[in-house]
């Protein structure tokens, strides 16, 4: 019976992965994008359902409440959001995805920490990476949303030694990740990893102009996928690894298309402050040009 259930889980994950691939393929054209979205959503429904059956879930009522609340919020936003505000919505989606991956990785760290069980090195590495990338994605996406929504200064925000500070923070994160990989027993170091990651995410995005924010959102989308894949490795969950890899790859490809259309380099997006202060109309026009370029290349 157990072997049959394991086989059912494996085939269900395979079906979900196939639907992800088909959905992603159909998203390449506006004519088939709607059906592609439905196929991918069906794949995610299968993946979530079979995962809930596969794991020891202690409080199903909390999951049902979460699904109900999230569905209501998502349906309201989807029905009321304007097309011109779609980049802001995508930024929020990226941020929520990154935060979810970081929470999954953090909960796994705390589970091992409080139980005192030994943590394999590959697990501690993926937990640290999932937390790092997820929090960078979350904080960066919140800044991107604020710039697009005119809640934060849309022009690039720079200050002396900003790049040097970012480099120091990045080096600190590499050091903390290495430490937590070999010695995952320090709660203080783990909190420091999360805090520095949040600060780095803010610094990386705040120095980019609002008109160029769609490119950053695409890159953050890739980050959210990488964070999900890292969390999947930490949990040993195959479908989370597959879905995260798909999102990460699709995001980086879209980022390349966008940077090509805008005559930018990926290094500009990641390391440089670019984008002049422009009014909201220019930002929307720039987004429209990007969408038109992508449409023409996928007709």
Tens-place pLDDT, residues 129-181: 999 999 999 999 999 998 888 888 888 888 888 888 989 999 999 999 999 99
pLDDT at 141: 92
pLDDT band for position 281 (cuts 50, 70, 90): very low
The whole-number pLDDT of residue 178 equals 94
Q: Which residue has the higher pLDDT, 269 or 125?
A: 125
Q: Percentage helix, strand, coil, to 5, in the chain? A: 80, 0, 20
Write out pLDDT tens, residues 250-261.
Answer: 888 888 888 888
Question: CA 88 to CA 216: how far, in whole Å?
Answer: 12
Cβ density class 31-53: b for 16+ within 10 Å, e for less = eeeeebeebbebbbebbeebbee
The token pair at 37 is 């979205």
Q: Is the pLDDT of residue 298 over 60?
A: no
pLDDT at residue 279 above 90?
no
Higher-confidence position of 178 and 274 = 178
pLDDT band (50, 70, 90) for residue 268: low
Mean pLDDT of the chain: 83
Measured CA to CA, the distance from residue 111 to residue 260 in angstroms comes to 44
Q: If you average pLDDT over residues 57-67, what whole number do you get?
A: 81
d(CA 276, CA 66): 41
C-alpha distances in Å from residue 17, one per residue of 21, 44, 167: 6, 9, 37
Q: Between 151 and 272, whose confidence is greater?
A: 151
* DSSP category for residue 85: G
**3-state per-residue secondary structure call for 147-216:** HHCCCCCCCCCCCCCHHHHHHHHHHHHHHHHHHHHHCCCCHHHHHHHHHHHHHHHHHHHHCCCHHHHHHH
Q: Is residue 128 pLDDT above 90, yes or no?
A: yes
């Amino acid at each position: 019976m157990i072997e049959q259930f394991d086989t059912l889980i494996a085939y269900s994950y395979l079906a979900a992965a196939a639907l992800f691939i088909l959905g992603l393929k159909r998203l390449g054209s506006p004519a088939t994008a709607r059906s592609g979205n439905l196929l991918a959503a069906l794949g995610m429904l299968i993946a979530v359902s079979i995962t809930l059956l596969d794991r020891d879930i202690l409080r199903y009522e909390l999951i049902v409440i979460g699904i109900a609340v999230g569905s209501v919020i998502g349906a309201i936003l989807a029905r009321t959001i304007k097309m011109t505000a779609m980049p802001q919505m995508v930024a929020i989606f990226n941020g929520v995805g990154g935060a979810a991956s970081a929470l999954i990785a953090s909960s796994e760290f705390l589970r091992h920490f409080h139980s005192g069980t030994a943590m394999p090195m590959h697990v501690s590495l993926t937990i640290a990476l999932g937390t790092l990338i997820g929090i960078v994605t979350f904080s960066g996406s919140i800044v991107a949303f604020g710039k697009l929504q005119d809640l934060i200064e849309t022009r690039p925000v720079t200050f002396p030694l900003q790049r040097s500070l970012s480099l120091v923070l990045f080096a600190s994160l590499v050091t903390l990740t290495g430490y937590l990989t070999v010695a995952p027993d320090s709660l203080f170091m783990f909190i420091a990893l999360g805090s520095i990651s949040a600060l780095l995410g803010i610094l990386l995005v705040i120095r980019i102009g609002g008109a160029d924010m769609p490119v950053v959102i695409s890159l953050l989308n890739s980050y959210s996928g990488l964070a999900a894949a890292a969390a999947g490795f930490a949990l040993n969950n195959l479908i989370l690894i597959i879905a995260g890899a798909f999102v990460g790859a699709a995001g980086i490809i879209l980022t390349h298309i966008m940077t090509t259309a805008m005559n930018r380099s990926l290094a500009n997006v990641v390391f440089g402050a670019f984008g002049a202060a422009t009014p909201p109309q220019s930002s929307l026009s720039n987004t429209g040009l990007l969408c038109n370029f992508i449409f023409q290349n996928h007709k």
